[in-house]
Structure 1
Amino acid sequence: MKQSKLLIPTMRENPNDAEAKNLQLLLRAGFIRQVSGGVYAYLPLAMRVLKKMNKIIEEEFEKIGAVEIQMPTLLPLSLLEKSNLDDYDGKAYNLKDRNGKEFVLGSVYEGLISELIGDEISSYKRLPLTLFQTTTKYRNDKRSRLGLFRSHEFILSDAYSFHATTNSLNEMYQSYQKAFNRIFERLGVKVKSLLGDSQINGQTDVLEYMVLSESGDKIGCFSDESDYAADLQAATSAFTSKKSHEPHKEMSKVAFDECKTLAQAAEDLAIPLQKTIKTRFYIAGSQPVLVLVRADQKVNELKVKKMLRVQELKVADETQVEQYFNSPLDSIGPVGVSEDCKIYADLQIQGLANALTGGNELNTYLKNCYPG
């Protein structure tokens, strides 16, 4: 087809509201046009690219026995809840029909595909079964960013396989890994494979592919001494337990005349943050939980949720703090806590000696603490 017959509206300058480099290039070259924030129209050049990409994906998926399906965009809200994915908590587009029934625009399909297969497959003899689709999905983020990478409306290929045995599942897992390797090779995209973060509680052995870029929304961790690579949310640090040889001192309270944070108290007492135990108070489902980490580190709440196998993990509010402690949130600590609260500690605090932590009293802290 002649270029004169195509719609290719190029631009001389970058649009003022296009911050991401990929978005600037696609807009200036006439591949797409922005309809609204995070919503784009795909023009002829973009459609040619998408068709080629879809063909490659279909060919490689079909090589491993996957069959294409098409699921609806409009989904009952109950099916999204069954999908049990943390990443879409509060990020779906909700709407109601004239009868008041609640729906969402399709974002995740685990609930629908599981219900469909559960209703239609009655014998293990019909397994394994592998299905895939390439369709438009929706994500109700507060603000779209990174151009097409984090838009409100996006195209995604997702596949689902069902098996009667673990061996069959593992074989298909390896087949998909090889299929994705071939897809990226044919697309000419250089990727790094790494341990990923599953959005499904209890799921392990997740492999992610990451394109290294300065303008991304995830961080990968790579070892200089081995082939270990993992998404930041899934990465674990090497830990060797080291027993402190400091002389043991008697634990004592330290009270301040004014309110201080744990970090400010540590600074006043000349105690490094590496020897300070920070306590975070959460409600995991309905269970009160204390999580202990060194004060120079942060709690990875996603990892806590997965460890506890809970769907909901919320920072305790003031009323809940008052219920279990006689101090403000900044002064809480793990000593003398109600048996109703479960305590979990990061491995990094095991070897601490003469540490500082909250004293569970107003403006009071405990020094010379020993975890254990």
Structure 2
Amino acid sequence: MSDKYEIDIQAFAKALQSGQGLNGKDGLLTPLIKQITEAALAAEMDEHLTKEGQPNRKNGVSQKTIKTASGSFELDTPRDRNGSFEPQTVKKYQTRLTDEMERNIISLFALGNSYKSIREYLLEMYGTEVSNGTINAITDRLVPELRAWQERELEAVYPFVWLDAIHYKIKENGRFVSKALYTILGLNIEGKKELLGLYLSESEGARYWLNVLTDLQNRGVKDILIASVDGLKGFPEAIETVYPKTEVQLCIIHQIRNSVKYVASKNQKAFMSDLKCVYRATTQNAAEQALDELESKWGAQYPLVIKSWRSKWENLSVYFKYPEQVRKAIYTTNAVEAVHRQFRKLTKTKGGFANENALLKLLYAGMLKASEKWTHPVQNWNLTLSQLSIHFEGRLDDYVDL
């Protein structure tokens, strides 16, 4: 190795002992990596010239900026007179030595960090200034992956599926409009959570949910045992159109919230105490008796509330027919609302999104992060599956060994 590429180990160690960092703009590793890389390229050039079958010689260097995990530097790449040298240590159009920076950008993006925060982090860690356009270009690489994920084949049967919507502001034709993001969370045969799809529409409605369910069917879902949904009008009918055998449970929590809105504040505590006897009853008969008593006491004051429970009772009371373990899973849409809480954490600092892709790629990245924890079945899943196989006789036989 020539003097140019000799590394002063003692000076390096002394700087390290004095507290100088390894990474970042003024880190010790960046010039070290530059020296090692240029030495490797010089050795490559010497070997190339030795093997060249025709007269050739060195012809100076060309420079380009190289980004690494420890920082950026100007790399001197040797040139030859004939232009036949093809370096391998750092290829001709290569500008990075590792993809760690890009992985960090996507990871920070998946945690909901703003582009400004990502730029500041990269400047501190790598000594590299990265534009919003570069960050956007890197995160845009998620879009084809997102599309493939949206179109992937799904399992044939899902014991539980939770469906809900959340709203976001997205820019269209120069103005921001509110759009509904439809989220479908499933629990597969192994008892593991799986986000089945994310869909965007102008507004939440049973008609669009019908399109969503049809998409699930087209992607291979033949059967859903129990679907837990909010109280959107026409939702149960939309599900029945595509999956006629599916039990539809309306979310009790949504129904309670909607009921309390119509009860005077001075009566809410007493009303809720009586209502609790309905939805926490041990059997459907006991629940219906409690509902009769609720109507006798409060029906004159709040007829719309009682009418709502009566008209939706068929789907509100589905969970009473199942054992405790199943009840806990289906009586509320909390499972999918937990996903929405994660989404809100990602988007809380953003008033709106430039386009649909800007929103979807962020939520997809966040979903990938969150689903890292979905590697184990839910608690007591084998017992739950056994109970479901009894209540839905024959519908799980082809998919599980019990």
TM-score (norm 2): 0.21
Please identify which structure carries the higher helix content.
Answer: 2
Higher strand share: 1
Bigger radius of gyration, 1 or 2? Answer: 2
TM-score by length of 1: 0.22
The structure with higher relative contact order (CA 8 Å, sep 6+) is 2
